[in-house]
Amino acid sequence: MSLPEAPLNRDPSAPGADMSRRSFLRTSAVLASGLAALAASLSPLRDLDDYTSLDRFMQKYYKELTPQEMDRVLKRIANDVEREYGVRPHVRDLKPMDGVEFVYALNLTRCIGCRKCVHACVQENNQSRTPEIQYIRVLRMPHGSLDIEKAEHNYAPESVPEKGYFYMPVQCQQCKNPPCVKVCPVHATWQETDGITVVDYDWCIGCRYCEAACPYWARRFNFTKPSIPKERLNPDMAYLGNRPRRQGVMEKCHFCIQRTRVGRYPACLEVCPAGARKFGNILDPNSEVSYILRTKRVFIQLKEELGTSPRFFYYFDV
């Protein structure tokens, strides 16, 4: 059976002169019902509460915002947070300090795998609890091997540390040569002068190419609207740091930018009971991280062979 055709000198697209009223009504009925089905198919959008207002839609790239525009943006963020959580936050845009390059050193002899750093980070940085977003992942490794295939993510013994294992927390390594920055199609993530690789949450389009590119599995995506319990909201916020994110954007460890750029230690370091975490300015020869890199002889930079030059140094004492 085939598409029938009219004699050739006839416009095949024009309806015939004797097209009956019935067939016209039939055709219109099909079109009308089709349009109704189209409109109905979009009905779930009634529940869209994450719609974008005009100034949010038009918001410029972070590096192009003038100070006045940034002020407006910060005020808007503060208003949004207050409306959502009932807490008036203090939102700042902190710039990197001069003469500062951050480095993190982690003592693998001391880490006991208690995961307090994971949860302190979640608390400090207003991460979603359900679904769960945690920037730090603590790996339990067997003695004698750095083979990541042997890592255990879900250890849950009665007490840590367990004999025969050591523990290695992994978070964003703030690489000097970051693959995530290279692949982001819109420059939503970049490295600042103090070494922190930041994300402009209002610029990210959520393509997740950076998540595929990161060799340390350090980046997290908001698969749905993040849920932060009101009573645990940290109101001390920074634009590039711990202000609440939206559905569909990437986030990751930013060395607690709201703390470190005012000179404080990051939350993971403060909570570590064993003092395994060390942080500071590598350009300052008197900092503890300079001392560590000077005196400790064996360092591990994870996946060093990939050429990412991470700013995270793992070392052993004994």
* Of residues 6-25, those binding another protein (CB under 8 A): 6-19, 22-23
Residue in 82, 86, 88, 212 binding another protein, rule: CB under 8 A: 212
From 69-77, 86-94, 191-199, 207-215, give the range in contact with another protein by CB under 8 A: 207-215
Q: Which stretch binds another protein (CB under 8 A): 67-75, 88-96, 205-213, 236-244?
A: 205-213
Helix (H) or strand (E) holding 237: strand 236-238
Nearer to another protein, 91 or 202 (CB): 202
Q: Which is nearer to another protein, 86 or 275 (CB)?
A: 275
Single residue of 160, 176, 191, 283 touching another protein by CB under 8 A: 160
**Closer to another protein at the Cβ: 206 or 235?**
206
Q: Do 105 and 293 form a contact (C-beta atoms < 8 A)?
A: yes
Q: Cα separation of 280 and 274, whole Å?
A: 18
| x-marked contacts with another protein along 182-201 as a string, rule CB under 8 A | xxxxxxx-------------
For residue 229, state whether it binds another protein (rule: CB under 8 A): yes
The residue behind tokens 């634009």 is: 239
Residue 171 Cα distances to 71, 114, 137, 178, 301, angstroms: 31, 15, 6, 14, 12
Smallest Cα–Cα separation from 288: which of 278, 297, 296, 298? 278
How far apart CA 35 and CA 39 sit, in angstroms, is 6
Q: Say whether the peptide bond before residue 12 is cis (omega within 30 degrees of 0).
A: no
Residues contacting 122, CB < 8 A, separation 6+: 129, 133, 134, 135
When binding is defined by CB under 8 A, the residue of 77, 254, 281, 311 that contacts another protein is 281
By CB under 8 A, tell whether 67 contacts another protein.
no
53 binds another protein (CB under 8 A): no
CA 202 to chain centre: 12
Give how many residues touch another protein by CB under 8 A: 143
Contact 93, 74 (CB under 8 A): yes
Q: Measured from the CB atom, is 176 or 246 closer to another protein?
A: 246
Check residue 37 for interaction with another protein (CB under 8 A): yes
Stretch that binds another protein, among 68-76, 78-86, 191-199, 248-256 (CB under 8 A): 248-256
68 binds another protein (CB under 8 A): no
d(CA 172, CA 217): 8
**317 contacts another protein (rule: CB under 8 A):** yes
From 47-55, 70-78, 84-92, 191-199, give the range in contact with another protein by CB under 8 A. Answer: 47-55
CB neighbour class for 301 (10 Å; exposed up to 12, middle 13-18, buried from 19) = middle
Query: Taking the complex as a whole, how short is the minimal distance between the CB of residue 172 and another protein, in angstroms?
Result: 12
41 scored as a contact of another protein (CB under 8 A): yes
